[in-house]
Structure 1
Amino acid sequence: MADLRNIASYPVVIEEKVRLSDTDRQGHVNNVSFSFFLEAGRAAIVLADETLLEPDCFFVIVTTSIDFLGELNYPGVITVANGIERIGSSSLTVRQALFQHGKCASLSVSTMAQVNILQKRAQPLSDRCRAYFAERMLTDVS
């Protein structure tokens, strides 16, 4: 099992700059902004190659949860670590962590499903799509 508080467990890592508008009066990143940083991380996995999606399909969030473990501060840069935990027939489980100055400040898990816009239902992932996400699975670094 991957150590979710270790950045080395995550195959897709991006950096996001903290904006003043992300903060409260004490310079701490507010809880809503955590969601924005996590969204950017999911996009780095799911939208990195838009040719993976089946025609008339897109990904939607089915469930998401965030554990707030510490503070993120302004000014600064946030490291958003991302990895796939599970690949289903039409869905993905994405694990994420937010880091600042090497410290894990948040853990998140989201389930995303590929949905056909016209049929308004889940669309199975193609073999090509499954292979792409398999390359982005969490790494066991224990």
Structure 2
Amino acid sequence: MTDDKGQGLRLEDFAGQAYDKLRYGDTDRQGHVNNAVYATFLETGRVELIFKADARLLEEGFSFVLAKLDINYIAEVLWPGTVEIGTRVTKVGRSSVTMEQAVFQNGKLCASAETVVVHFDQTTRKSHAFSQAQRAKLESWMQAGQA
């Protein structure tokens, strides 16, 4: 993380940038977006980075499984509107990748997260090492603006 709870992060700091439209059903009795919905926002950010049509990362028969999701809630997200999600790679392991993510609304940082996903062989149901090409693509996403 950039610092404690990701303060000072900007959407422009992230290689992957996505957005989600807020739904009324995302809100809770306090009138803000429920904390559980943040995991869905972060999923949108990861999926849009990993499954880009013009930069295919996964081969047939493989997927990513979520191994860790650590969210720091910083500010409320309010309906109606949208959120922007930033995603970047911070570490590439043998078969796992660690990502730093952030959720913004109207330019304000609302949450930061550390996410770990594992490259998964759907036939053996076990982790599978990245190829050199996959590793190079993931490492290119460690810098902002490379996605």
In 1, the alpha carbon distance for the partners of 2:131 and 2:59 equals 7
Q: CA RMSD in A?
A: 1.8
Unaligned runs of 5+ in 2: none
- Identity value in percent: 30
| 2:45 alignment partner, one of 37, 41, 63 | 41
1:138 is displaced (CA, Å) by 4.2
Q: Which region of structure 1 is more displaced relative to structure 2, 81-90 or 3-12? A: 3-12
The reply to whether residue 121 of structure 1 matches residue 126 of structure 2 is: yes
SS, match of residue 52 in structure 1: coil
| 1:136 alignment partner, one of 128, 134, 141 | 141
In 1, the alpha carbon distance for the partners of 2:60 and 2:81 equals 39
Partner of 2:108: 103
1:41 is displaced (CA, Å) by 0.6
1:2 is displaced (CA, Å) by 4.6
Q: TM-score, normalised by structure 2?
A: 0.86
- In structure 2, relative to structure 1, the CA distance for the partners of 1:110 and 1:119 (3 Å cut) is same
Partner of 2:17: 13
1:65 is displaced (CA, Å) by 0.6
Q: Assess if the C-alpha contact under 8 Å between 1:2 and 1:138 holds in 2.
A: no
Q: TM-score, normalised by structure 1?
A: 0.89
Q: What letter corresponds to residue 91 of structure 1 in structure 2?
A: S
Question: Deviations for 1:88-140, whole angstroms, at most 9, x for unmatched residues?
Answer: 1111001100001111000011111101122221101111111211221144x
Q: What letter corresponds to residue 104 of structure 1 in structure 2?
A: L
Q: Which region of structure 1 is more displaced relative to structure 2, 33-42 or 2-11? A: 2-11
1:27 is displaced (CA, Å) by 2.7
How many residue pairs get aligned? The number is: 139
Partner of 2:31: 27
Q: Assess if the C-alpha contact under 8 Å between 2:63 and 2:121 holds in 1.
A: yes
1:6 is displaced (CA, Å) by 2.3
Question: Deviations for 1:27-64, whole angstroms, at most 9, x for unmatched residues?
Answer: 31101111111111110112224843244211001111
Partner of 2:91: 86
